[in-house]
Structure 1
Amino acid sequence: MTGRRLAGRRLVGRGRAVTAVVATLAVAAIAVVAGLGTGSFQASPAEVASALLGGGDARTSVVVVGLRVPRVIAALAIGAALGLAGAVFQTLARNPLASPDIVGFSAGSATGALISLTLIAPTASPAAGAWMGGLLTVVVVMLIARSVGVSRERTILAGIALSILFAAVNDYLLTRAPLEIARNADQWLHGSLAATAMSDLGPLLTSLGILSVVLLLAHRDLRAFELGDDVARSLGVRTGRSRLLLVVVAALLTGTATAIAGPIGFIALAAPQLARRAMGSSGIPLVGSALTGATVLLVADVIAQRALAPLQIPVGLLTGVVGGAYLFWIVARTRR
């Protein structure tokens, strides 16, 4: 009888997970259609399809293929990268507040990218700077946490302190940069997909693909960390090496997203928890986190473009407002 109940619960759980994935994909599809066809230049689904297939008039092709397709694809890829990074951090720390936003990795990536933009190569891609900034933040956070005794709480506090420090450094860099570069960098710091071009998609998708494969290969170790370090060690996981690899991958995912769109808050924090609740999973699902992050960011970007048209809000501002409300909700729920 007990075996039948367990089997029934597993079937129910799988059905719930499949339903959640299908619903998420449906919302993402609607957002893709809205992102490609709506705005100051309206295009019907038939005109969008014709432009994507190489037909249609020149104006529709320029707007849909040249401007909107890169932005939609970038939103999906960046949201997926942030969702994966948040899932890794929260699994390792076993804390729903452990995300690149909270522990300073997003701010560190932004600082590295700003140094690249303002001091080294203003016309070059800031991707390398964002990666280096994220990795340097990883090293500093781990060194601080280890020097005072490693704990999840101390690691998060060290990250928050670094976020404040990096924010001050970012402001200083903006005051030293030429006016035009400072203006562009300031818009980028708010998290925006407005300047996304087709040339950005190659490095973005390549990095996301490689890092996702590494996460897939390390999936067993990540699942073991959900049970605690001692249990993971008893299962044969080399916890020190595996933890370092997973944190580096998550930092690189954060740096990849930050290099293209700037620091975008809330996605890495909330996507893993939303996916876990929707799918009824005991742990944080990687695929669900990626899908949820991609969908949430795309929906947020479409709203940011259309809510106050013709004025476009940087998507990072919108996700920041939603993220603040989400944190208040977590605090209220924890108190209850």
Structure 2
Amino acid sequence: MKRRAAAVHLSMLAVIVTCVGVSLTIGRTGLSVADLTDLLIGDGSARDRLVFDWRAPRALAAPVFGACLGVSGVIFQSLTRNALGSPDVIGLNSGAYTGVIVVLMVGGSGFGAVAVGAVVGSIVAALAVFVFAYRGGLAGFRLIIVGIAVSAILASFNHWFSVRADLDESMRAAIWGAGSLNGMTWTPLASVTAIALVLACTLGPLAHAMRAFELGEETAASLGVHVERMKLSMIVVGVVFTAIVTAVAGPIAFVSLAAPQIAKRLTRNPSLSITGSALVGAAVLAIGDLTAQHLLGDVSPPVGAVTVTLGGIYLIWLLLRE
């Protein structure tokens, strides 16, 4: 690892730890450093344990979910060889939203039903994009164009539902669709973390394939990479990384889009980095959630609104630059 990349990674870790610490301690009901120390050694009061159990899941979910989105983003951008090739651009978030809407339309309720609907919706959207984009191979630019088209179709259905559905169902879908970490608890955080750790075991072979793809598909094939099989594996892993976050927190836009490119520019590395993208994604979402909670006065918007605002500015800059 280059010295600059190592310095950037350590800086991102410092930002993440700082954001988690501030999230636990800021505000009238926050914990002091001494309170946190007592809790870690098992001597905290009942009040401190209650506050910790209330705040810690959200404080930890932001970097964990951000890292998952960053990894998904770098996989799809490497696959498409395009800075716009992120899950939120090619329709996975719209698919998850549609899946949740379908669950609500058939009378489903509760966290489990919504999570299943989001995951299935993301997978179906990804399959649709893959089928329509495949022409004897999977070209990156074609994948993006087909993904934008599928996303537009799904978004049209989602908007139709919002004006035709029962008001309560429409409000439930809209709240979930905003992308929020409000009310995060240990159970969904533990589930996402466990699945992400299992998926992390696949990132070694994927990183090798990503580096080989940078030399061209023919060269990658001559190096022993099964090109189409590896592309399908990258799609599956990227979809699952996005789906597990979307199922729990809703579609949090632009983290997947921005994290790989920010990491690439910070490290000045010509290649996309899985580790760098994960750390930058974790830092971006941690900062965004902290902003949503405490830096906008009495207004506390969902973190998805903050990332959309920051991501929109980034997207304009990226389009002008590229």
The TM-score with structure 1 as length reference comes to 0.89
Report what 1:106 is aligned to: 93
Give the drift of 1:210.
1.3
1:69 to 56, 62, 68: 56
Deviations 1:143-170 (A, max 9, x none): 2223698533222121112222222222
Describe how 1:242-253 pairs up with structure 2 within 5 A: 242-253=230-241
Any conservation in 2 of the 1:102–1:160 contact (CA below 8 Å)? yes
Counterparts of 2:158 and 2:92, CA distance in 1: 14
Deviation at 1:309, TM superposition (A): 3.7
Structure 1 residue 329 displacement after superposition:
0.7
1:332 aligns with 2:320: yes
1:161 maps to 149
Q: Cα offset for 1:325?
A: 0.6
Count of residues in correspondence between the two structures: 321
User: Which residue is 2:215 aligned to?
Assistant: 227
- Would the alpha carbon gap of residues 124 and 324 (structure 1) be closer, same or farther in structure 2, given more than 3 Å must change? closer
**How does 1:41-120 map onto structure 2 within 5 Å?**
41-63=29-51, 65-119=52-106
**In structure 2, distance between residues paired with 1:201 and 1:175:** 33
The equivalent of 2:263 in structure 1 is 275
CA-CA distance at 1:290 after TM superposition: 0.7
What are the ranges of 5 or more consecutive residues in structure 2 without an aligned counterpart? none
Residue pair 2:96, 2:120 contacting (<8 A) in 1 also: yes
Alpha-carbon separation, structure 1, partners of 2:176 and 2:144? 25
Q: Are the counterparts in 2 of residues 113 and 129 from structure 1 also a CA contact under 8 Å?
A: yes
Q: Distance in 2 between matches of 1:48 and 1:178?
A: 45
Q: How does 1:279-294 map to 2 (within 5 A)?
A: 279-294=267-282
Partner of 2:181: 193
Deviation at 1:118, TM superposition (A): 4.6
Q: Is the 8 A contact 2:138 2:228 kept in 1?
A: no
Q: What does the per-residue CA deviation read over 1:125-147, in whole Å, with 9 as the maximum and x for residues that have no partner?
A: 23322222122112111222236
Secondary structure of the 2:202 match is helix
CA RMSD of aligned residues (A): 2.0
Distance 1:146 1:30 in 2: 44
Distance 2:102 2:181 in 1: 20
The amino acid of 1:291's aligned partner reads L
Partners of 2:39 and 2:158 in 1: CA distance: 41
Unaligned runs of 5+ in 1: 1-12
Are 1:241 and 2:229 matched, yes or no?
yes
Kept in 1: contact 2:79–2:140 (CA 8 A) = no
CA contact 2:101–2:158 (8 Å) conserved in 1: yes
Q: Do the aligned partners of 2:82 and 2:141 also contact (CA within 8 Å) in 1?
A: no
Match of 1:316 in 2: 304
State how far apart, in whole Å, the 1-side matches of 2:31 and 2:138 are. Answer: 55
Is 1:183 aligned to residue 171 of structure 2? yes
C-alpha offsets along residues 178-197 of structure 1, whole Å, 9 cap, x if unaligned? 54443333112011000211
